[in-house]
Amino acid sequence: MTSGTTVGPREPRPTMMDVARVANVSLKTVSRVVNREPSVSAPTLLGVQKAIEELGYRRNEHARALRQDHVSRMLGLVTKDVSNPFYSAIARGVEEEVRERGLLVVAGSSDEDGERERALLEILCERRVAGLLVVPTGTDHSYLAPEMALGTPIVFIDRPPANLGADTILLDNVEGARSAVAHLLSHNHRRVAMVADLPQLFTTAERIRGYKEALRSFGLEVDERLVRSGNHDTQSAESATRQLLSEPDPPTAILAGNNRITFGVLRAFAGTARPPALVGFDDFELAPLLSPPVSVVAYDPVELGRQAARLVCERMDGALGPPREIVVPTRVVARGSGEIGK
């Protein structure tokens, strides 16, 4: 042993994620360079190679060899927010469906951020997951086409992908909203408002479409002042509802666009002598226990997860054919709040 030599903690080896950060490119691009794939431009190639040299990155050939022809036992699940009961129910359905196959579900939240969603998906692809399940947020999913071409099955849940043909599981959003508004109109309401999420979201646009179709089917004009979209959390939904209630001619009924919006609407109703009738899109556990109990557009989110998992497993087992789209039905559950007559 050499005198005076101090052995400290070993520095962590640089990873492909470190290279991607230094080169300011995606993890997938680094993977293409490392694996000598031809579809990388010369400037990008030079930038990645420079970052590799600076960091001293070395590919772990032993781990790579172990991965060759290895069937992963992991499924990747990317949702908007795993803390939301809707997405946690989807995750439960996925896990229940794949448990007997010995598959492990690895979940992450995109937080409605397209760049974060892409980063999560690229990391999961780098881990060579057996399949991907995605509640999409981004506006372009064409970057996943090469992964699908390599045989990774991908199923989208609740919203369709953008610029990519892939299996999709959707709710019948239009019919759910149409039925809810028709239910309110049947109780003699004619000023029915809708408090909705971000208008660029597929689910929001479809539910607003159903809302408007129901009004027109009853011979009513759509008053755009009664459509309050852009409410992405409980607080903004509460504020939008208070604004509606303060109008000279306030609505007598409201359709809430999702479960968190329903919470905001209910908070705005607190202390109101005669609140409007209400139907919320999405059921929730406390809905039957409130006073009055909350009428909702209901469906089974666990079944959404189960069906998505079945689709991805069928593709893993070799099922071929064009992308499939499955639509899960919705129904109005009348509990009291939506049956308040005008």
Whether 133 is in a domain gets the answer yes
How far apart are alpha carbons 278 and 289 in whole angstroms? 15
- Per-residue pLDDT, 13: 63
Residues 245, 208 share a domain: yes
Residues 148, 274 share a domain: no
In tens, the pLDDT along 311-335 reads 999 998 889 899 999 999 999 999 9
- Per-residue pLDDT, 8: 35
Q: Which domain holds residue 43?
A: 16-66
In tens, the pLDDT along 262-316 reads 999 999 999 888 999 999 999 999 999 999 999 999 999 999 999 999 999 999 8
- Least confidently predicted of 33-42, 133-142, 277-286: 33-42
Residues 256, 306 share a domain: no
Q: How many structural domains compose the chain? A: 3
Whether 11 is in a domain gets the answer no
Q: Which of 48, 66, 84 is the last residue of a domain?
A: 66
Q: Which of 46, 66, 86 is the last residue of a domain?
A: 66
Residues 192, 156 share a domain: no
Residues 277, 178 share a domain: yes
Residues 163, 90 share a domain: yes
Residues 258, 110 share a domain: no
Residues 219, 154 share a domain: no
Residues 135, 110 share a domain: yes
Whether 288 is in a domain gets the answer yes
Whether 1 is in a domain gets the answer no
Whether 2 is in a domain gets the answer no
Residues 294, 306 share a domain: no
Residues 146, 52 share a domain: no
CB 175 within 8 A of CB 162: no
- Per-residue pLDDT, 323: 95
Cβ neighbours of residue 80 closer than 8 Å, sequence gap 6 or more: 87, 109, 110, 111, 112, 135, 137
Q: What CATH number does residue 30 fall under?
A: 1.10.260.40
Residue with tokens 């004619």: 190
In tens, the pLDDT along 169-183 reads 999 999 999 999 999
In order of 127, 143, 184, 318, the CA distances from 194 in angstroms are 43, 35, 12, 44
How far apart are alpha carbons 251 and 92 in whole angstroms? 38
Whether 292 is in a domain gets the answer yes
In tens, the pLDDT along 233-266 reads 999 999 999 999 999 999 999 999 999 999 999 9
Cβ neighbours of residue 28 closer than 8 Å, sequence gap 6 or more: 122, 125, 126, 143
How far apart are alpha carbons 240 and 229 in whole angstroms? 9
In tens, the pLDDT along 146-167 reads 888 888 899 999 999 999 999 9
Whether 87 is in a domain gets the answer yes
Residues 335, 229 share a domain: yes
pLDDT of residue 72 exceeding 70:
no
Angle among Cα 280, 281, 286 to the nearest 5 degrees reads 55
Here the tokens at position 309 are: 């998992």
Q: Which of 66, 90, 108 is the last residue of a domain?
A: 66
Whether 82 is in a domain gets the answer yes
Q: What CATH number does residue 127 fall under?
A: 3.40.50.2300
Phi-psi category of 323—alpha, beta or left, where left has phi over 0 and alpha has psi -120 to 50? beta
